[in-house]
Structure formats: structure tokens, C-alpha cells
Amino acid sequence: MSKVCIIGATSAIAQETAKLYAGRKDSLFIVGRDDARLTAIAEDLKIRGAASVNQYALDLTDISRHEDMIDTAWSTLSGIDIVLIAHGVLGQQDVCEKDYSEAARVFDANFASAASLLTILANRFEVQKSGTIAVISSVAGDRGRKSNYIYGASKAAKSTFLDGLRGRLQKSGVQVLTIKPGFVDTPMTKEFKKGLLWAKPEGIAGGIVKAIDKKKDIAYLPFFWYWIMFIIRHIPEKIFKKLSI
């Protein structure tokens, strides 16, 4: 039985992941900004088999409360085996281009809040000398594209932060997993037209749990995004900058 803390638990991908841990009869601590949604999720996870579910409501951009939240999670679960950080926003690229405050909102929600959480968590895991820190980043962070480079930059910062953290925590025996999903059909992408490359959150959740079980460092989900991004990363900049993607 594991002790699992899910931050950004109302995300579609996080919910599906939580269900898988509930099915394993794990204990869960779920964090999000909407208490009513957290309650709906907690009821569901208990019925699906979770040993216990506790919830904590906060806006994750409120960094001043991070210490208290993690403290509560740590003591409620008496230590954390797995923490998944899932929250994020897509932002509006066109608005970001005109108004930095929108871009700042994206950086805060996607990067700054995660960096603050990771700072606190890393120090605790370093002492605990075991466990998993898993964070949802994105393939969008692998290379900036003109259609969504603000979101991409926030995810690139996250991925880079995690690369470094992995190095730091590896001697403590702590797994740091960067999850890079491709296109997933969730509330975040409800405005997009869905095609062949789109995955369901259930599928991504299965991939996340497997990558955690297998102690992976980086997981592209579904796996074929590794190859897509491999190609995208290798297109010469002279050509890439002219592509309309």
C-alpha cells in the first residue's frame, strides 16, 4: 500500500491516475483549488477502493500556503511515497503576445508554483531517501513553436528544473519523473479539433503509473511522441522558424 499525494487533483489526467492508485487500495491526499470538485473525487476514489482519501483546497499560485499544505499531506499520510504534480493552464497565446500579464499568469501557474512545491518536496524527499516525485510537463516544452511558445516556455522551464533535480536527488534514491504527454482530450483542450494523434486521459494515466513503477526518468506519453519530438527537435532552425506549427 502506497501513500500518494496528488497536486492538481481535479485535472482529468490526475483523476484517472488517482483511480488507478485507488484500485490498488492506496492512501491518497488530493489537492486542488475547488473544494466541491475535490469532494466529488474523494467520494469516488473511496468507492473505487482507496484505503483513505483526504483533501486540501488551495489555489496553487498562492505560494505562501505551500509549506502548510505539504506539511498537512506529510503528516496525514505519515510520509509520502509518490507525489504527482499535475496542475497547469494553457493560456491564450494571442493574448500573451499583447499583454505580458497573461504570460505571467501562465508562468506562475505552470512553472513558478511547481518550482516552489518542488523546492519544499525535494528537501523532504532528500531526507526520507526514498519515493517518487512525478511532474506533468509537456512535449510542448521540447521546442518553442510560434503557435504556443508561452505555454511551451513554461513547460521547458519545468522540464529543465526537473532534469537538474533528478541529478541532485539521484544519490538519495529518489525518482524524479518528467511526464511529457502529447495531445490529450481533456478540459484543457476542449476547444481543439481532435484527430488521430489524440489520446484519452485514461491511457495517459496508465502510462504514468507504469513509468513510476518502472522508475523511469522521462516518459513521453503515448510513447510515439518520443519519435515525433525527436524529429521536431532535429529540424534545422533555418527551416523550423518558417514552419507554421
Partner 1 sequence: MYYSWGRYPKVSQKSSPIFWRGDSIPIIKGVSLIPHGLGRSYGDICLNDGNYIIPTRALNHFIDFNPENGRLTCEAGVSLAEIIALAVPHGWFLPVTPGTKFVTVGGAIANDVHGKNHHIAGTFGNHVLDFELLRSNGERFNCSLESNPDLFKAAIGGMGLTGLITKASIQLIPIQNNLIQTETIKFKNLDAFFELSATYGKKYAYTVAWIDSMASGKSLGRGHFIAGKHAGEEFGNNLQAPPEKAIPVPIDFPEFVLNNLSIKAFNLLYYNKQLKKRSSGSTDFNTFFYPLDSIMDWNKVYGKRGMLQYQCLVPYEDREVIRSILKTISDSGQGSFLAVMKIMGDIPSPGMISFSGPGITLALDFPVTKKVFSLFLTLDKIVRAAGGRLYSAKDACMSADDFKAYYPAWKEFEKYIDPKFSSSFWRRVTGEVKS
Ligand X SMILES: NC(=O)c1ccc[n+]([C@@H]2O[C@H](COP(=O)([O-])OP(=O)(O)OC[C@H]3O[C@@H](n4cnc5c(N)ncnc54)[C@H](OP(=O)(O)O)[C@@H]3O)[C@@H](O)[C@H]2O)c1
**To the nearest whole angstrom, how small is the minimum distance from the Cβ of residue 140 to partner 1?**
22
Residue 5 interacting with ligand X (CB under 6 A): no
Residue 40 interacting with partner 1 (CB under 8 A): yes
CA distance 155 to 142: 8
What binding mask, one character per residue, do residues 183-202 give for partner 1 by CB under 8 A, x or -?
----x--x---x--------
Question: Considering only residues 51, 122, 188, 232, which one is a binding residue for ligand X as defined by CB under 6 A?
Answer: 188
Pick from ligand X, partner 1, none: which does 235 bind, CB < 5 to 8 A by kind? Answer: none
Q: Collect contacts of 38-43 with beta carbons under 8 A, ≥24 apart.
A: 38/9, 38/10, 41/9, 41/10, 41/15
Pick from partner 1, ligand X, none: which does 194 bind, CB < 5 to 8 A by kind? Answer: partner 1
Residue closest to ligand X when measured from CB atoms: 88
Which of these ranges, 39-47, 145-153, 211-219, 226-234, lies near partner 1 under the rule CB under 8 A?
39-47
Question: Considering only residues 11, 116, 132, 178, which one is a binding residue for ligand X as defined by CB under 6 A?
Answer: 11
Which of these ranges, 44-52, 118-126, 161-169, 182-190, lies near ligand X under the rule CB under 6 A?
182-190
Which of these ranges, 5-13, 71-79, 163-171, 230-238, lies near ligand X under the rule CB under 6 A?
5-13
Question: Considering only residues 187, 223, 227, 243, which one is a binding residue for ligand X as defined by CB under 6 A?
Answer: 187
Burial 117-142 (b: 16+ CB within 10 A, else e): bbebbbebbeeeeebbbbbbbbbbbb
Question: Considering only residues 33, 46, 143, 146, which one is a binding residue for ligand X as defined by CB under 6 A?
Answer: 33
SS3 85: strand
CA distance 154 to 41: 28
Q: How far is CA 47 from CA 22, 26, 85, 168, in A?
A: 9, 12, 23, 39
Residue 33 interacting with partner 1 (CB under 8 A): no
Q: Cβ(12)–Cβ(201) under 8 Å?
A: yes
Residue 186 interacting with ligand X (CB under 6 A): yes
Cα first-last separation, the chain: 44
Q: Which of residues 208-237 bind ligand X (CB under 6 A)?
A: none
Rounded to 5 degrees, what are φ and ψ at 2? -100, 160
Residue 13 interacting with ligand X (CB under 6 A): yes
Burial class (CB in 10 A: 0-12, 13-18, 19+), 150: buried
Residue from 184, 222, 182 nearest 206 by CA: 222
